[in-house]
Amino acid sequence: MSWKTWFGTWGVKQAKERAAAEKASRSTSQATIIEEIKNDDTHPAPGTTPDTGGVAIIHSHHLNQGTSFSARARDELHLKGLVPPAQESIQRQEDRVRAYLNTLSSPLEKHVYLGRLRAEDTALFYRVVVDHLTEITPLIYTPVVGEACQKFSLIYTPGTVEGLFLSIADKDNLDEILSNWPYHAPDICVMTDGSRILGLGDLGLNGMGIPIGKLSLYVAAAGFDPSKTLPVTLDMGTDTEKYLNDPLYLGTRRKRPADEEFYAFVDAVMAAFKRKWPKLLVQFEDFSSEHAFGCLERYRNQYLTFNDDIQGTGAVILAGFINAINLSRTPLPNHRVLFFGAGSAGVGVASQLKEHFIRAGGMSEDAARDAFWLVDSKGLVTFDRGDKLPQHKTLFARRDNEGKQYKSLKEVLEYVRPTALIGLSSQGGAFGEEAVRAMKEFNERPIVFPLSNPATNAECTFEQAMNWTDGKVIFASGTAFPAYEYEGKTVEPGQGNNMYIFPGLGLGAILAKAEHVSDDMVYQTAATLAEALDEEERSHELLYPHLTRIREVSALVAKDVVKAALREGNCDQEDVLKLFGAVSRQPFHDDAVLSDPERNEALLAFVKKRMWDPHYAEDEEVLVGELKHKASL
């Protein structure tokens, strides 16, 4: 053996021994710490550990009041010296948050800062969101949440618990893991498996940003109690090599499971939820298409659940479409709708629109279906294209193409001559000038909805659509585009994003104590949202209400969801039953009573009363007493 080889071997041996010794000492000391914690039955004096005394209040994001603690609270809760002396209103604290946001240059930094605020002072965070929806929503939700997901493993900061990670390897220990959840029994859960996050693909565990972002809107837009929201990411691996090879990736390093293993795990999760929190509403979010449809069919009658990308998107686009039809002046049955993208969202929206063509257009099922053409990555979806279609595409596959296949968007456009072009393909820029100009050639007022998210995936921009249609386009996108000045007039684009639906749908379902989320409840959300435009919004030809009105709109949506549940015997809310003279879980069809204005107003008031409004407790007596109790002082 040469000295070099000998030295190398010796070095490796030494390093191995060192590592083994370190590991042993680490595990011994960890084991010791765990034992010490377990056996510690002493009760530390208030304030002597960070988990007791007044400081526990500062560390509790639901109790923290930032710099708003009164002099008395500071005194009695042992907070003096721990917070700066200035005693400020929540509004002044909001000013500071926004002033600080203005100093940050990148949207991701703003997202991270706001996330920290949510984790440390919940009331202040939501006050800022609710008071500045247009400014803050894009930072905590689409589009910035897209980048935050892509970098989730990088920006993750330990020390905050914002959601549950459920790993497939823990399939048999789910009850134990759920019992670790430290907050109240949740009302609402948004759950993803990270396999199709916005139009960004399979992000694995990094998808956690989406449930957190969606639930922030449940709170801000529909007044859910933040301590009763549950973000969940199912960690089942990822097929994205980049993450599997990223040393910082926080998820399980394995490829995604085949269907059998996938469904066995999701079955186990749903059953565990039901055991632990029987009334929980579970919103499925950003699952890859086939699993999105598969889970919806599998669970919709057994559990209280819906799929946001299929049903929420379907409803929000139907609402915008109802208003677009009025602006287009083309009667409903004459519309021909081309979908670019035939995944969960494309088929979900087509299904919802088809339902409307039947209900409001008086069309037969077949005639309604014939008003839709779907395009996927292989071209127009037809039965004789030669590939095996997944079940959801067969719902709208064409038979009338006479053996001819249409591949490019240009070919399909010429063949179909649609009145509406809807993009749900995640292919940024796919609606080029030629395609959009063709839409203007076919129609006086073409409907063009590039709905893919985030903004970089939108099939075209608002500015492009305006310029290429001589300002005639009826437009909505998934991510908000800025208003555009066209021929001296400022025109506002629509934002067709399911955030106008899911918060109100969820609230209605919970308040009705519904057993399931039915098709009627979903359809009703679209009808209500379409109706929710006020005079001023109508006069500006808007398709959706201003974002600043979203709480008011969610309340209206929730109210009508409760009524839809009542109609089909899916309601068990005592106050509501009493108000309408209905019987629990019995269908109620008295239209005169259901449309009675006084009862509707009372129902709306009932809904609004249950919406959490972000604030610090005002009654000092109650506040100090309650906080003392919570901090065991």
Please state the residue numbers annotated as binding site for (S)-malate. Answer: 196, 453, 497
**Active site (catalytic) residues:** 141, 214
- Please pick, from the candidates 68, 238, 305, 498, the single residue that binds ligand LMR as defined by CB under 6 A: 498
| Tokens, residue 337 | 């709708």
Could you tell me the smallest distance in angstroms from the CB atom of residue 346 to ligand LMR? 12
Tokens 């498996």 belong to 193
Nearer to Mg ion, 286 or 355 (CB): 286
Spatial contact of 483 and 492, defined as CB atoms under 8 Å apart: yes
Candidate segments 228-236, 304-312, 414-422, 482-490, binder of Mg ion by CB under 5 A: 304-312
Could you tell me the smallest distance in angstroms from the CB atom of residue 524 to Mg ion? 21
343 binds, among ligand NAD, Mg ion, ligand LMR, none (CB under 5 to 8 A by kind): ligand NAD
Strands 281-284 and 188-192, sheet pairing: parallel
- Contact map string, positions 458 to 477, toward ligand LMR, x by CB under 6 A: --------------------
CA distance 481 to 448: 14
Residues 269-298 that bind ligand LMR (CB under 6 A): 286
Nearer to ligand LMR, 309 or 459 (CB): 309
- Binding status of residue 382 toward ligand LMR by CB under 6 A: no
Residue in 298, 244, 266 with CA at minimum distance from that of residue 168: 266
- Binding status of residue 459 toward Mg ion by CB under 5 A: no
Amino acid at 587: P
End-to-end CA distance of the chain: 71
Nearer to ligand LMR, 108 or 271 (CB): 108
DSSP3 helix / strand / coil % (the chain, rounded to 5) = 55, 10, 35
Could you tell me the smallest distance in angstroms from the CB atom of residue 266 to ligand NAD? 17
| Cα→Cα distances 104→101, 107, 110, 122, Å | 5, 8, 6, 21
- Please pick, from the candidates 495, 497, 554, 573, the single residue that binds ligand LMR as defined by CB under 6 A: 497
Residue 280 phi, psi (nearest 5): -65, 135
Q: What is the DSSP string of 174-206?
A: HHHHHTT--SSPPSEEEEE-SSS-TTS---GGG
Could you tell me the smallest distance in angstroms from the CB atom of residue 477 to Mg ion? 15
Residue 397 phi, psi (nearest 5): -65, 145
Instruction: Give 71's contacts (C-beta < 8 A, 6+ positions apart).
Output: 87
Nearer to ligand LMR, 190 or 603 (CB): 190
- Contact map string, positions 267 to 286, toward Mg ion, x by CB under 5 A: -------------------x
Q: Return residues touching ligand NAD (CB under 6 A).
A: 196, 198-199, 289, 309, 313, 316, 340-346, 375-377, 424-427, 451-453, 457, 478, 496-498
Q: What is the DSSP string of 305-318?
A: EEEIIIIIHHHHHH
Nearer to ligand LMR, 348 or 361 (CB): 348
- Binding status of residue 343 toward ligand LMR by CB under 6 A: no
**Whose CB is nearest to ligand NAD?**
343
Nearer to ligand LMR, 288 or 498 (CB): 498
- Binding status of residue 309 toward Mg ion by CB under 5 A: yes
Spatial contact of 545 and 133, defined as CB atoms under 8 Å apart: no
CA dihedral (41, 45, 46, 51) in degrees, to 10, reads -40
Residues 146-185 that bind ligand LMR (CB under 6 A): none
**Whose CB is nearest to ligand LMR?**
142
Could you tell me the smallest distance in angstroms from the CB atom of residue 313 to Mg ion? 7
- Please pick, from the candidates 137, 142, 153, 524, the single residue that binds ligand LMR as defined by CB under 6 A: 142
Could you tell me the smallest distance in angstroms from the CB atom of residue 533 to ligand NAD? 18
| Tokens, residue 125 | 């965070």
Count of beta carbons in the 10 Å neighbourhood of residue 399 = 9
| Cα→Cα distances 446→108, 312, 327, 435, Å | 35, 24, 10, 11
Binding site residue list:
196, 285-286, 309, 453, 497
- Binding status of residue 427 toward ligand LMR by CB under 6 A: no
Binding site residue list for a divalent metal cation:
285-286, 309
Nearer to Mg ion, 193 or 309 (CB): 309
- Please pick, from the candidates 231, 348, 478, 496, the single residue that binds ligand LMR as defined by CB under 6 A: 478
350 binds, among ligand LMR, ligand NAD, Mg ion, none (CB under 5 to 8 A by kind): none
Residue in 147, 89, 140, 88 with CA at minimum distance from that of residue 115: 140
CA distance 156 to 112: 9
Secondary structure element (H or E) that encloses residue 477, with its range = strand 474-477
Q: Which residues pair with 232 in a beta bridge?
A: 164, 191
| Tokens, residue 347 | 């088929």
Instruction: Give 161's contacts (C-beta < 8 A, 6+ positions apart).
Output: 182
Count, residues near ligand LMR per rule CB under 6 A: 9
- Binding status of residue 187 toward Mg ion by CB under 5 A: no
Which residues form the interface with Mg ion (CB under 5 A)?
A: 286, 309
**Which stretches of the chain bind ligand LMR, using CB under 6 A?**
142, 198, 286, 308-309, 453, 478, 497-498
